[in-house]
């Protein structure tokens, strides 16, 4: 993407280039967001729901999310299932084989934090974010296919806020209160605490 990066930087400096840049961003984000091909990294139980999601009843193809087993064809890695210490290098290697830009969805409690296998076991990685930059987390053991659908739509929101010039990227709203997030106070107030 070196050409696009250079183009973006050049447009950003040119007077009036912002109009072209934002139009270009809109086009690129639209095309990226509408064809998020999935790398189904299904290891355990969640893989069954991942399969169910792409089949007739839930039909993910209509979102443009087609599962492709080849990492070089894909944009988003869906880590569905428990990642063990033995599996970790393989997942990392597949992630490195995916071309930029790429995103990651942690599907299910095992991929989020180790889930039910957090305690008492010696072989499970406690969350795939130990070695991958996760964009969207889905809780559930396993999550329903609708939850994966929601994750794809949320990821699309995130993709649509990106710009080819990194400084122009819009901030993405997180549904969780972040440290220093002004909404944090609102949530505390809603909880019935007299302020």
Partner 1 sequence: MTQTSTSDVTPDTAETQPTGTEPTETVMETVVNIGPSHPSTHGVCRVVVHLDGEVITHCEPIIGHLHRGIEKMAENRTYLQVVPLTDRLDYVGSMYANWAYCRAVERLAGIRVPERAEYIRVIVCELQRIASHMMGIGSTGADTGAFTAFMYTFAQREKVVELFELLCGARLTYNYVRPGGVSRDLPDGWVEQCRAFTAQHPSAMLEIDDLLLGNVIARARLKGVGVLTQVDAVAWGTSGPIARGSGVDWDLRRDDPYSVYPRFDFSVPLGDNGDSYDRARVRVWECVESCRIINQALDQLEPGSVQAEGLPRLLAPRPGDAYDHIESARGSLGVYLVSDGSPRLYRMKVRSPAFCNLAVLPLLAKGHTLSDLVVILGSLDPVFGEVDR
SS3 content of the chain, % helix, strand, coil (to 5): 50, 10, 40
Minimum Å gap between C-beta 57 and partner 1 is 5
Q: Smaller CB distance to partner 1: residue 24 or 94?
A: 94
Q: Smaller CB distance to partner 1: residue 33 or 127?
A: 127
Minimum Å gap between C-beta 43 and partner 1 is 5
Give the Å distances, CA to CA, from 141 to 44, 62, 113, 164.
Answer: 11, 25, 11, 36
CA distance linking residue 51 with residue 29, whole number of Å: 27
Q: What tokens were used for 81?
A: 């299932």
Which chain residues interact with partner 1 by CB under 8 A?
Answer: 41, 43-45, 47-49, 51-52, 55-57, 69, 81-82, 84, 86-87, 90-91, 94, 116-117, 119-124, 141-142, 144
CA distance linking residue 141 with residue 72, whole number of Å: 29
Minimum Å gap between C-beta 153 and partner 1 is 20
Q: Smaller CB distance to partner 1: residue 35 or 121?
A: 121
Q: Smaller CB distance to partner 1: residue 41 or 112?
A: 41
Q: What tokens were used for 155?
A: 């990821």
């Amino acid at each position: 993407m070196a050409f696009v990066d250079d183009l973006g930087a050049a447009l950003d400096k040119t007077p009036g280039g912002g109009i072209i840049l934002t139009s270009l961003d809109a086009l690129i984000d639209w095309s990226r967001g509408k064809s998020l091909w999935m790398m189904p990294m299904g290891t355990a139980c969640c893989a069954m729901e991942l399969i169910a999601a792409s089949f007739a009843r839930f039909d993910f193809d209509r979102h443009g999310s087609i599962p492709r087993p080849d990492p070089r064809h894909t944009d988003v890695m869906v880590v569905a299932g428990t990642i063990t210490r033995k599996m970790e290098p393989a997942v990392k290697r597949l992630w490195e084989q995916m071309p930029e830009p790429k995103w990651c969805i942690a599907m299910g409690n095992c991929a989020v934090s180790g889930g039910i296998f957090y305690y008492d076991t010696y072989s499970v990685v406690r969350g795939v974010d130990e070695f991958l930059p996760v964009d969207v987390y889905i809780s559930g053991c396993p999550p329903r296919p609708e939850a994966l659908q929601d994750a794809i739509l949320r990821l699309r929101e995130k993709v649509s806020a990106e710009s080819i010039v990194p400084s122009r990227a819009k901030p993405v709203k997180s549904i969780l209160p972040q440290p220093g997030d002004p909404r944090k106070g609102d949530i505390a107030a809603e909880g019935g605490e007299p302020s």
